[in-house]
Each structure stands twice: as C-alpha cells, then as structure tokens.
Structure 1
Amino acid sequence: MRIGRPIDRVIQGMFRIANKQAVTVDFILNDVQYQYSVAATSRDIILKARREGFSSYIRGEFLGACLTEENTRAVILSQDTEATMKHLAAVKFYIKHMKGLQPQIGYNSRNEITFPKMDSTFYIGTAGSKTFGRGDTITHLHMSEAAFYDDLKGLQGSIMEAAAHAKRIVLESTANGYNFFQKMCQKARQHDGSYTLHFFPWYADESNYLPLFAGEQLPLLDEDIERMERHHLTMEQMKWYITKRADFMEHPNDVEGKLLFQQEYPTSIEEAFKSSGANFFRTIPYEALEPVDRQGHTFIYRPAIPGRRYVIGVDYSGGIGQDYGVVTALCTDPLEQVACYRDCWTEPEQLSYKAAELGRVYNMAYIVPEANNHGTLGVDVLKRIYPQSHIYKRDIPVRKGVNGPKKKTMLGYLTTEASKPYMCNALSLYLRRGLKIYDAEAYSELQVFMEDEGKLCAPEGMFDDCVMSMALAAVGIRKLIPELPKAPVISPPPPQGVIYPFDNAKDALDIVLNTRRGRELIKRFYMHPSSVLSEMSRLNYGRASKHPTAK
C-alpha cells in the first residue's frame, strides 16, 4: 500500500474497483495516482493524458471524505449527462463493493447520495448551468474534463462563491484546444493565482508500453527520436506510442489525426495545446525558462550584457482590463527574448515609463512603440522621458513643395491592417532564423495566431498583445540591421521535378516572376527579385549543369 496522504489509507482500505480488464480488485493506487497524491494541494489543475485513473482516485477521495468527515459537501461536475451517469455508477460501485460494513445511506437519487450519520452529501451533476452551486456550501469540488465545458468561465463565477472555503478544488481534464481551461493552465504554470498545475504525460502511466520482438526495428521519425532522448523513454514505450498514434491517423500524412493524438496523449504541455496547421507562425523556437528575476508583472529572462544591442516593442492598451499592455525586449545577437512586461491594468502613460525603464536597463535599447489608438498618448509620454534618437521614426509625406515632395518625421510605428503583414512577417522571419522565446504566454499566443480570410489576428476570445509587441520589436531589428540573418545551414534536397537553367539575367527574372515560390517571396517578404533569385538558388533552383541528374 502506497500512502501519499492520509486519505489514501481510507481509499485503499475501504474500496474496491473494476480494473481495465473489468475484474473487481482492491483499490491500489497506480503510479500516476500516487505521484499526484504526493504533490496534491488544496487548489489543483490536472492536465493529463487519457485513462490515467484520476477520476477514479478523486471519486474515492471524495467518497472517503463523506464517510469519515462530518458535514462534507462533495460535488463532482462532468461535461455531459453521459459522463455524469458514469461518475454516479462508479460511486455506487464503490459503496456496493465496500470492505466491511455498508454505510448508512439516506437520500439516494440519480444525482445525490446522503450519509446521515456524518451529515454528508455527495452530489454529481452536469456543468450545464451558470447558476449551479449558488446558495450552497461546497467542501470538495471536482470539475471533471473541465476543458470540454460549454462555459467554464461562466460556471467559475457561479460555483466558486459556494466553494470559496472548500478544502479541495480540482479541475481535471485532457486538453481541448485554446479555451478558458488553457488560460487557467497557463496562469497556474506561471504561479499566478491560487492554483497549482500538475501535468501527467502519457509516459507517466507505467502500463503504456509494448514488448519488442527479437531484432525488431521501430520506424521512428526524427521527432520521435528527439522525443525519446529528451524524455528518456524506452523503446518499449516508443512502440506503444507509435502504435497508438497509428490508430488516430488515416494515412501517414494525416496532420489532423496526429494533432488529435498529441492532444489526447501529450508528451509535453506545449504539445497538449498544439493546434491545427493553419497557424501563421509555423516555426517557434521555444524554451521553457524560469525568469532570473521577477518584479511584479516584469519577467527578466536574460540580464543585460554590455556591448549587445537590444530592441523593445511596446503594444499599448487602455488599462481597463479589456486587453493587455505588453513590453517585450529582444536581443539582436544572439536572437532571443530577454524580458517582458504584461498587464491589463497598466495605462498608456505608465507603460511608457515601464518601457523607458527597461530600455535603460538594456543598454539604452531601441524602442518601437505602437503609434495609433492608445499609443498616441504613450508615444507622447515616451518622447519626453527617453532619448528620441532611440525611438523608432517613420516618414510620412505631407505635401509637394517647390523642391519636391516634403516629408514629416513621426515617432512610433503605425499598426494598421496594411502594415500588419510586414511586421508579422518580420517576426516570422526571425523566428525561422532561431529567435528564442522564453515566455510561456508569448509562446501560447504565437501558437494560435492565424491568418483568417486575409486578416492577421488571434482566434476569437484569445489575445495577441504579446505577438504584436514582439512584431514591433522585429520591425526595430529590421531597421537597425537591414541585412537578413543567415539561414540555418541545411543539406539541400535532391533535385525533383523541373530544374531551371539560368542562362542570363532576363531568364532569371522571368523565372522569379513566373514561379510560385518566387511570387510568394516577393509578396510575403517584400524581397527584391535579385534576393529572391539567391534564395531560390539556395533551395536548388540552380543551373541544370550543377545537377548530374538534370537533362
């Protein structure tokens, strides 16, 4: 018997359970249940893979509390009626197959069981009403598969008042895309608030393995080998993994099936919330790094190093809790995020002071503030407290004079639907060139940022303030360092399909303008045709004579 907390003695000493083979056995904590019991707190969020036994354990814990602690009011909420019935049936199974004397039961309905001797109640319901829980007092609350609730945020408002003084609150679920549950996980991961995040990947379940046959070689992908090395997995575990993955995929290139599998059986938190292939940023070099310093809403990931150049992007908000004001600091060499500030209650004036403060810390960094909307006041404040030579300037034509067109210099970057593609593509360029992201919230926003019918934005209900702040900083890097960073060195692919012979400049230009790849480079990245030609040549669109297989 493994004991993580005192309630484990009650669970294993009183209850029996039907195992995965449908055989009734004594309730003995499995490895995952024991790991959680040791780490459990009064306010927990559990992000997990499928079928790891958390619902069974929490049902046993809450029923044990009803039988041993007076005035217990235990509540389990599920995502739909079918799941509610399964929870209720499981609790009644525990009671029916209890070791020793049967408990005295008072009221026993389809949703509620009372234990009059202890004045305790066990309620199991469906999370379908925002008003559920008002007027009640809850001591133990389990929100099962919370990511699948229709309105988790609304339910939180109605039920948390009743559970304000609860001994235990547990939100447990597999991932379900980017929703309120994901935001709660992200907040708990950053130790912001009262909840503790517990993540249990598929390999935490000791039964997830398949034995190898003598001399068997597994068809591992490069990403499988990286996964295996990073998480110290065995070949037996990897055999289980690729076999299970094949059940989700209709064919080897089934991206949707693969993403669904990774959501159901994640290896990491990032993988659990990975979304579809329609995202704008395909490459995001993320490394989960703990801040070396945190002061309020400011996270310092790398201290300033004398001699290095830094760029700061400032995305303003109204400071009324509707969206976030964000300041992001990037280093130009090596390309990496070094600091960020994010808060929804910081007004434009205060955010300018914060940007100036970080700018002075990071070697008088070059600051690119948003110049429209709330940024109009922010830029006006910033120019009074920070050297204007270190603030981004743009030229705008005002009128045509005697000696030609005249221009007016303005501070800040004007973010519009027309200018957004440039700044977002600039950020995408640096991400592909290895710009390291350390902030979990920034990474979360990058993962879901998308192009929807020509509009660059976050999905409905999500934020993109960190993305915009980083994109502004990317514009600053482009202005400070016009040369493109070197692309990572990769082995060129073998020539396939048509090989383009470049006999003269005119032929090369024609190929650039009449090739899908060439048009894409010009349209998306504003590259000069000569630069496009170089890029295409690097990708093996070279002279036919260079390839012995060319005819």
Structure 2
Amino acid sequence: MTTLTRDEAMKALFSDRRLTLESMLEIENKERQLVPFILNPIQRDMQETSGIRDIYVKPGQVGATSIWAGDFTIDNITINGTVSVIISYDEFSAQRLLLKAKKFHQSIQRRIPTIPKLDHKSATELSYIDKDTGFYSSFYIFSARSYVMGRGEPIHNLLLDEYAFWPLGTHEAIWASAVQRVPLVLGTKIRVQSTANGEDNPFCEMYKTAKEGISLGVGRTQSVYKPHFYPWFIHPEYSMLVDSPFCLDGDTQYPLPNLQDDELSLMRLLINVFQVDEHEAMDKLRWRRYKKVEVASMRRSGETVFIFSQEYPEDDESCFLTASDQAYDSEIISQKLRNCYPAPIHKSMVNDRTGTSAGVDIWYDKEEGEIYLLSIDPGKGKSSESVAHVWCFKDGYVKDDREVFPEMKHCATLAGWYDEWEMAMYCKELGRYYNEAVIVPEDNLDIVSHLRDYPDLYIREDPRSGKSSRAIGWQTNVSTKPYMIT
C-alpha cells in the first residue's frame, strides 16, 4: 500500500473540490446542528457541472449560496491574491453570508491550523493572511444596495445571489462595475442564481437568453452563460411521509386520495423519468399539497397559490408566471409554453438606408396566395425592445357535420432594440416578403409616421361600434385592452 506524505495528501485533498468541501467544511443543518457539509444532489450537480460563466434557476432553500460560499472560501485560502465577491439582495442575507464564510474558515482551521489566518476587516470584508509567506486574499460580501467597491481591482470569483429580487436599478449598475472587473482568465468564475420572480425582471431575461441565444441582427448568438435549472422534486428534503404531523387532512394514507390531473402528470414524470418509486412519488406529492395550501392560505380566495411554482419550480417556464390576476389560466399558459419550439428558419431583413440587417425567426414561411397580418409592438429605441409578429388567419368551416374552428397561425417574429424609424424599415421589408402583409402598428409612439408610405396599413375601427376612422394603427387604452385579450 502506497503511503502519502503530508504534502501529497494535502495536494490530493485540495485537488478534489467536492472532497475538500465535504471533509473540511461544517455547516448548520435545518435542525440547528453543526454537521459535515455533505452536498445534496442539487449542490453536487452545481459543483460538478459549473463552467466559467453560469446562471441557475433553483428552488428555495436548497443550499445554493452555501456551495459557492464554501467554494470561494477554499480558493481564498489556497490561491494567493484571490478576490471573491458575493452580492446578495439585502443586508440581512449579506450579514448571514459573512458569518457563514467565517464559520467555514474556522472549520477548516480546526483541521489544518496552518492555513492563512482570517482578519475580519469590516462589515463587508474578510481577509486571509499569512505574514510569513506574504499570502493575502480578500472576500467581500455586499447587498445589492450597498455595493461600493472601486473599479480598479480585479475580481476572480463573483456570485450575484437571488438576482431576481435585487432592487430595480441595481442590476445594470453592478453589471457594469462588478461583472466587467472579472478578467477573461481561466479559473475566474461568475455565478448568477435566483429563484424565479416573474417575467418582468433582468434575471428571467438573462436566463432565457442563456437558453435561446441572443439576436444580434445577423442570426442568433449563444450567450456566454451556461443555463442550469433544478426542479424542487430532486431535492431529497422535499418529501412528506404518511405519518408526518404536517400532513393535510385526508393525506395520512397510501395511496393519496383524489389525485388531480397535474398530480398524475407529475407522478408519471417522477416514476418514468426520475426513476422514483411510487411510494416516494406519493411522499413528494403529499409535501407538494401541503406547501401549495400553505402559500394559498395567505388569501381566502387562495389566489396566492401561484407563489408555489415560483419558489418550487417544476419547469423553467411556469416558474416565471407569477401574476395572480392573469387574463388566462396559468395552466393554459404553461401548456402553451411547453409546446413552443425554436424557429426552424432564420432570415435577415436588410435596411437599405444603413445596410444593416435584422434577424427574423420563421416558423411558417410565406405561401403563395395567403394573406398575412404583421403586428408591431414598438419599443423606445435602446431602452425597450420592439417586437413584430406575422400572423395568418383562416376561417372556420363545417366538414362532415363537424365544426372546424378558425386557425390563427403565428408565422414569424422580428425583435430587437431598434429606434422607431429603424423598426419601421425592417417591418416594411418583412411585410413585403409576406405577400404585402397588412401592417398593424400599435399607435402609442411615433412609429406610424415612418410607415405611411407602406401600401396596406390597418385603419383603426371602434372596437364596440365597428366604425372606421382615419387613424392608422391599434390604440391601446383602458377601453380597448379588454378586446385585445378576449
């Protein structure tokens, strides 16, 4: 049997990051006990599959922040000059993380007393120092509101934690100052992670960009961030045994009674895809029932049940649907989202004035003799995105005594951060491509003035009376909005 020297053993230990985390670090569990930091399946996958730039959609309370705090701590005590930064969403979380990083250092120091000593320099900074060797590294932990580092010092490890919950206005400022200070050098890390918090925030947009790519006018370009998604049911703790005191009335039995369609679908997924046996699947459904009732208990109407899919996602589409007053049922929207697929065709619309082009995603190419409609939702230049859709409508009919419903087919999408005149130019080209499609702009900005030379524009009608006016485009207001969504 080969005997390792002390130095060889240390080298072997620190060359295996998971081994280092699980054998050197201790952490408080949910029973408030200090235990070895044994990674759960989600933490293990995060550590094993991470790249150099990553974005994570995760359930709540799975230890995602702890894995990076531990990972950064090990870098800070083993790599001289390391600067690690975690930016959390509030002051309380930042202070808790600072305390956790200190405890990680203490647990390693009990086993290896010769590691660099910890100096708690301020409310936001930890320093790791060995005066004999000149070793020095720093670990900063801020809230999104309090981030104040200078712009000169490089950052080697950066975590943007619970990014979807940061105060509005902080994302871009920190992106410019912190992210741009991480050098393009192997060994540097940027991790962006959060539970979902609706569609209307930078985290949702960034994650979907990582999945779908970026439209730069000449085709779709892959994001530099690697997307990761973790559903709640792969976390072992999210399960409830039949004898748990937290079981809902009627759920203290096997099998569970009154399984709903969504529960049956999830159970099939757990058994067939995730290789979970039926008893364990029932335990997970029992836990799910309790948590859904728990969040629904905030209101007598139960409308807050949508919070469950945000905090405990089952797929990376429905988790971003949070509005309780949606015009359409969230299950219908989720099903539509699951049926979506990338456009099989990509074309470029060239702007004759500038020579630039805009990329168009096409699901159904033009067909001779078909009539198309092109709708435009104009943005505000470089501050909000403009989007155009091409549609084809076909009338319903009766065949063999069976009614065939009218067909509404989404054929193509053009989207980008374009000025109004620029968007108008691209849309006119796209309209001409689709058999001189009728163009229907939203009449809330100046885009109509740039479309007047197009031969077939929608002339506004009163949605109640049907009378035509001389105005071009659809006007969105309190009176017309109900007609848009019904």
Q: Shorter-chain TM-score category? A: 0.7 to 0.9
Distance 1:96 1:371, change over 3 A: closer
Which stretch has the larger CA shift, 65-74 or 207-216?
207-216
Greater mean alpha carbon deviation, residues 360-369 or residues 170-179: 360-369
What amino acid sits opposite 1:289 in the alignment?
Answer: Y
- 1:158 matches 2:173: no
SS of corresponding position for 1:184: helix
Matched, 1:120 2:137: yes
Which of 361, 378, 389 lines up with 1:299 in the alignment? 361
AA partner of residue 195 (structure 2): T
Matched, 1:105 2:117: yes
* Corresponding position: 1:179 with 2:191: no
288, 292, 316: which one aligns with 1:245: 292
Distance verdict in 2 for CA 1:7–1:219, change over 3 Å: same
Q: CA deviation at 1:70?
A: 2.4
Counterpart amino acid of 1:144? D
Superposition pairs of residues 208-357 of structure 1, within 5 angstroms: 208-212=238-242, 215-229=254-268, 234-250=281-297, 254-282=301-329, 284=333, 285-286=336-337, 287-295=339-347, 297-304=359-366, 309-317=371-379, 320-333=381-394, 334-348=407-421, 350-357=422-429
What is the correspondence of 1:36-55 to structure 2 with a 5 Å cutoff?
Answer: 36-55=46-65
User: Given the superposition, is the C-alpha separation of residues 82 and 393 from structure 1 closer, same or farther in structure 2, using an over 3 Å criterion?
Assistant: closer
**Could you report, residue by residue, the CA deviation over 1:121-141 in whole angstroms, capped at 9, with x for unpaired residues?**
122222223544433321111
Q: Distance in 2 between matches of 1:230 and 1:55?
A: 28
3-state DSSP of counterpart to 1:107: strand
- Paired residue for 2:231? 201
- Residue by residue over 1:26-52, the C-alpha shift from the partner in whole angstroms, topping out at 9 and shown as x without a partner, is 333221122223332222222211111
Please name the residue that 2:212 is paired with.
Answer: 190
Q: Is the 8 A contact 2:164 2:204 kept in 1?
A: yes
CA contact (8 A) 1:256 1:276 kept: no
SS, match of residue 288 in structure 1:
coil
Q: What's the counterpart of residue 220 of structure 2? A: none
Partner Cα separation in structure 1 for residue 150 and residue 259 of structure 2: 49
Alignment of 1:55-74 (within 5 A): 55-74=65-84
Per the TM alignment, residue 421 of structure 1 is displaced from its structure 2 partner at its CA by 4.2
RMSD of aligned Cα (Å): 3.3
Q: 1:227 to 1:144 in 2, by over 3 A?
A: same
The 2-side partners of 1:251 and 1:14 are apart by 42
On the 8 A contact 1:77/1:143 being kept in 2, the answer is: yes
Matched, 1:143 2:203: no
Q: Does structure 2 conserve the Cα–Cα contact (< 8 Å) formed by 1:352 and 1:379? A: yes
**Residue 97 of structure 1: SS of its match in structure 2?**
helix
The answer to whether the 8 Å contact 2:125/2:140 transfers is yes
Aligned twin of 1:379: 451
Asked which structure has the greater CA Rg, the reply is 1
For residue 151 of structure 2, give the secondary structure of its aligned residue in structure 1. coil
Are the equivalent residues in 1 in contact too, given 2:58–2:231 (CA < 8 A)?
A: yes
Q: CA–CA distance in 2 between the matches of 1:257 and 1:316?
A: 33
State whether residues 210 and 227 of structure 2, in contact with CA within 8 Å, keep that contact through their aligned partners in structure 1: yes
In structure 2, runs of 5+ residues without a counterpart are: 1-12, 215-222, 243-251, 275-280, 348-357, 395-406
2:384 corresponds to which letter in structure 1? D
1:415 and 2:475 equivalent?
Answer: yes
Contact 1:129 1:155 survives alignment (8 Å): no
Q: Following the alignment from structure 2 to structure 1, what is the Cα–Cα distance between the partners of residues 48 and 340? A: 24
Letter of the 1:221 partner, please give it: Q
Change (3 A) 1:316 1:140: same
Q: Matches of 2:304 and 2:459 in 1, distance apart?
A: 47
Q: Which moved more, 1:209-218 or 1:78-87?
A: 209-218
Letter in 2 for 1:345: Y
**Paired residue secondary structure (1:321):** coil
Higher strand share: 2
Structure 2: distance between partners of 1:65 and 1:159: 19
1:26 corresponds to 2:36 = yes
Quick one: structure 1 residues 321 and 93, their matched pair in 2 at CA, closer, same or farther if it must change by over 3 Å? same
**Residue-by-residue CA offset, 1:105-163 (whole Å, 9 max, x unaligned):** 15224432222344211222222235444333211111222222223333333323433
> How has the CA–CA distance of structure 1 residues 303 and 41 changed in structure 2, closer, same or farther, with 3 Å as cutoff?
farther
Match of 1:169 in 2: 190
Residues 153 and 256 of structure 1: is their aligned pair in 2 closer, same or farther, counting only changes over 3 Å? Answer: farther
The sequence identity of aligned pairs, in percent, is: 24
